[in-house]
Structure 1
Amino acid sequence: MSENTDTTDEEHRNLDAAEQRRAVRNRYARIATEAGGCADDGCCDESATQSSEQLGYDDDEVNSVADGADLGLGCGNPNAIASLETGDTVLDLGSGAGFDCFLAAREVGESGRVIGVDMTPEMVEKARENVVKNDATNVEFRLGEIEHLPVSDETVDVIISNCVINLSPNKPQVFREAFRALRPDGRVAVSDVVMTAPIPDAVRTDPESVAACVGGSSTIDELRAMLTEAGFVDVEITPKEDSEEFIREWDDSLDLGEYIVSAAITGRKPRQGESE
């Protein structure tokens, strides 16, 4: 990985990494513990069922998971682009209360395994409670940062993530870690926001805006460079233009659809002997 991508991420962030982590952790701890579940702006919708339908989940998916896992977080449906198979080991970066993990568990079956990683203790606690509610014997949740994944090398078949990588102060490190954790021919399937126009400095440097999935987004070219430099091939980033509608609902005071859209992001770790 060259230094250029890391530097670009730093320049766009303009926010101290510790301050950014603190804002993100505080926001999602509040979401996990408040009775209503969701915050009042950003990538979170108090009407979780309605929000999930907008994000691309069907009724069967929404109804298959016990209450408490779907907090209305996210900006897409990573499982829809993951092409999961029976027996896969899946890793969810920033797993929250576990909604996407429980959906993935249905796809990989009893012979598969799903691991969720989240840096917010309150979210991990909530997700572990949801394991019991969903009788999900093939799902586990670990406390950790997505820049330093608590998993061994080359032990994962598919990595999913839903509107979380934009929250990281070091996205290139996230993709390096994803590459390390994946087995050869493993793949990433990510739903996240991408920047389509320069975001006002007042938003980009505001900790709450960054924690709300707005201020920390990167452009498509930047993300493609990060993935490629980490070693991924077959990288595809596809914006979802219809996402502007629900993104605008995240903050009534800003026309967020002018700056960011949701995108499907995929890539593959080369097979052994395959040139990168």
Structure 2
Amino acid sequence: MEFDVKGKVKEYYGGIARKVNNGSGKSCCSGTSCCNEVSKTSLIYNGESLTYLPKEALEASLGCANPVVFAKLKEGETVLDLGSGGGINVLMAAKHVGTTGKVYGLDMTDEMLNLANSNKAKMGVTNVDFLKGYIEDIPLKDELVDVIMSNCVINLSEDKERALSEAYRVLKEGGRLAIADIITLKEVSTELRAEANMWCGCLGGTLTIAEYKSILENVGFKDIEIEVAHIYTKSIIENTYLKDKDLDDVANKLNLDEVDGAFAGAYIKARK
């Protein structure tokens, strides 16, 4: 690829974290209408009460589902969240695993790590560590964690097999993968996928179900399940997905008929 995907992703998500940190996040729009990002996040995490979380964690949430629910975390488990952002999934997981458990959040963006650590301090949690690094090179030892979560992050990687191989490496024998991600349901043009901002919006780097299963099998995972949760129609992509992510410029370049029904949110489970 001719463009720097990792650099674009860092720039995009770093910008969001800076807005939240300086109080100019997306929680309210200009004028009389309110975007109410916290309410939208609450809808995504409808299986959980979020009242105990800092509002900055909610404002920086850019996921597509709630991996904490289908991860079925148990007290005392060690958990790793790949691409932890502002820390929402890590802080939720910390409550589930309790003081005898441990949760690591991994992110490559300094601004998001600063925000996550600020949210951690506000909550006063002691069983959480946020680490700087790449999901393709996880800075943890082999067979350390019981569960790996991720919320719409694997699709951002240019080397998904390396990222999932690293996830397999740090999982204990019998450990489980429980991630939410965006997948491709029908082929779209090369030109569309070559739009760097589409990667930031979690669409340009998606895999088909067959491709996802193949990579998971290649790196060693078993008991693989991929369940389509919701299909992105043209209306959802234009009016909700891209606008929520401040990607109006991308919307103007897209052939929306081409992307209608091409992408879907999915739950992906597997075991080591």
TM-score normalized by the length of structure 1 = 0.84
Query: Which residue of 2 is the match for residue 36 of structure 1?
Result: 24
Q: Closer, same or farther in 2 for the Cα pair 1:156/1:257, shift >3 Å? A: farther
How much does 1:98 deviate? 0.1
Q: Deviations over 1:113-157 (max 9, x none)?
A: 000000111111111111101111111100000000011100000
Pairing partner for 2:55 from 67, 92, 101:
67
| 2:242 counterpart letter in structure 1 | D
Query: Which residue of 1 is the match for residue 10 of structure 2?
Result: 25
1:103-182 alignment to 2 at 5 Å? 103-182=92-171
Whether 1:81 and 2:70 are equivalent positions in the alignment is yes
| 2:205 counterpart letter in structure 1 | G
Unpaired segments ≥5 residues, structure 2: 28-34, 244-250
Query: Which residue of 1 is the match for residue 262 of structure 2?
Result: 259
- Three-state SS of the structure 2 residue aligned to 1:54 is helix
| 1:122 counterpart letter in structure 2 | E
TM-score normalized by the length of structure 2 = 0.85
Higher mean Cα deviation, 228-237 or 64-73? 64-73
- Three-state SS of the structure 1 residue aligned to 2:114 is helix
How much does 1:55 deviate? 1.9
Q: Deviations over 1:87-120 (max 9, x none)?
A: 0000000000000000000100000000000011
Task: Tell me how far apart the structure 2 counterparts of residues 174 and 132 of structure 1 sit (CA, whole Å).
Answer: 29
Task: Tell me how far apart the structure 2 counterparts of residues 123 and 32 of structure 1 sit (CA, whole Å).
Answer: 5
Pairing partner for 1:239 from 217, 228, 235:
228
Task: Tell me how far apart the structure 1 counterparts of residues 103 and 48 of structure 2 sit (CA, whole Å).
Answer: 22
1:191-270 alignment to 2 at 5 Å? 191-241=180-230, 244=233, 247-248=237-238, 249-251=240-242, 253=251, 254=254, 255=256, 256-269=259-272
Whether 1:47 and 2:36 are equivalent positions in the alignment is yes
Contact 2:83 2:151 (C-alpha < 8 Å) held by counterparts: yes
Calculate the aligned-residue CA RMSD, in Å: 2.0
Task: Tell me how far apart the structure 1 counterparts of residues 67 and 260 of structure 2 sit (CA, whole Å).
Answer: 21
Q: Closer, same or farther in 2 for the Cα pair 1:145/1:157, shift >3 Å? A: same
- Three-state SS of the structure 2 residue aligned to 1:192 is strand
Task: Tell me how far apart the structure 2 counterparts of residues 95 and 26 of structure 1 sit (CA, whole Å).
Answer: 16
- Three-state SS of the structure 2 residue aligned to 1:124 is helix
| 2:241 counterpart letter in structure 1 | W
- Three-state SS of the structure 2 residue aligned to 1:251 is helix
How much does 1:63 deviate? 1.2
- Three-state SS of the structure 2 residue aligned to 1:63 is coil
How much does 1:226 deviate? 0.7
- Three-state SS of the structure 2 residue aligned to 1:241 is strand
Task: Tell me how far apart the structure 1 counterparts of residues 221 and 26 of structure 2 sit (CA, whole Å).
Answer: 34
Unpaired segments ≥5 residues, structure 1: 1-14, 40-45, 270-276
How much does 1:197 deviate? 1.2
Contact 1:203 1:210 (C-alpha < 8 Å) held by counterparts: no
Contact 2:61 2:88 (C-alpha < 8 Å) held by counterparts: no
Contact 2:181 2:267 (C-alpha < 8 Å) held by counterparts: yes
